[in-house]
Amino acid sequence: MQIIPEIGIREFKKIDLKGANVIDGFSSVSPINAIAATYLVSSLNLDQIAALDSEDFPPISMIYDSKPKFPARIYARSDLAAFVAEFAPHPRLFRCIARAMIEWTKQQQCARIVAAVGIPDITKGAASEIYSVATTEQARELLSRVGIPQIRVGIIPGLAGVLLNEGRWNQLEVIALVAPIREGMPDARAAARILEMMAKLLPNFTIDLTPLYQEAERIESALKALRQQTKPMEDSISRVYG
């Protein structure tokens, strides 16, 4: 009998998030959304309001400022929330993570979820171009107004793809931003481009991206170092799931 993973959300403090935007910061296909969400949380000094937990997450504690933290967390202010995780969840967990994120977003009466995904650039075109997909006509009109090209035909992999499917099923606005990734180009630069596009989409979203562009390689190296520490636990989970 197949066991369906469960994702629990432990709330530390309550905040009114009605109408807020939610950012997906889970790594799946590439780490760009984790880099973008982590930089956003730090730059905007968002407050941790909750943690995600599951028997299928790596059994680790992330230590920041001498304080232990769950490896998957939610940070927020009144108009913005961000899911952040330093580990890459097994693909088997994508659906239950997406459903937990969708359910939480609806419970909080948030406006939409914005996810990002990096896809290898096989066209060798402009690596800085960001594309998009949305679940509702209203969101597609917004993308047109702000000038973010929309994918007509294609595939969105990973957690972002599941969020699009679940968002449409639940009649929730989900926008996926797609960044072409080139070999040898730091993912942090693509993350900076993603944040530029988010600034077009989201009201009251102002963030200085200069440090992210200037220190892209250092920021990416720091995240990879954390990922390397969690990898043994990720690998053990992968062996269990096959």
Tell me, yes or no, whether 2 lies in a domain.
no
Rounded Cα distance between 17 and 167, Å, is 18
Compute the average pLDDT of residues 87-93.
88
Its sign, for the CA torsion 153, 148, 157, 185, is positive
Q: Report residue 230's pLDDT band, with 50, 70 and 90 as the boundaries.
A: low
Tell me, yes or no, whether 242 lies in a domain.
no
Rounded Cα distance between 233 and 188, Å, is 24
pLDDT exceeds cutoff 90 at 131: yes
Tell me, yes or no, whether 192 lies in a domain.
yes
Tokens of 114: 């914005």
Q: Report residue 141's pLDDT band, with 50, 70 and 90 as the boundaries.
A: very high
Q: What is the pTM of this model?
A: 0.84
Tell me, yes or no, whether 212 lies in a domain.
yes
At 94-104, the pLDDT tens digits run 999 999 999 99
- Which domain range does residue 58 map to? 8-236
Q: How many domains does the chain have?
A: 1
CATH number of residue 77's parent domain: 3.40.50.10900
Q: Scanning the structure block, which residue is given the tokens 């995240």?
A: 223
As a whole-number percent, the residues of the chain with pLDDT over 70 amount to 81
Rounded Cα distance between 92 and 136, Å, is 27
**C-alpha dist (Å) from residue 100 to 37, 51, 94:** 18, 12, 10
Rounded Cα distance between 35 and 217, Å, is 11
Tell me, yes or no, whether 162 lies in a domain.
yes
DSSP lists the bridge partners of residue 133 as 176
Q: Write phi, then psi, for 230 (nearest 5 degrees).
A: -90, -15
Tell me, yes or no, whether 63 lies in a domain.
yes
The residues near 2 (Cβ < 8 Å, ≥ 6 apart) are none
Q: Scanning the structure block, which residue is given the tokens 């993308």?
A: 143
Tell me, yes or no, whether 74 lies in a domain.
yes
With residue 83 as reference, give the H or E element that holds it. strand 80-85
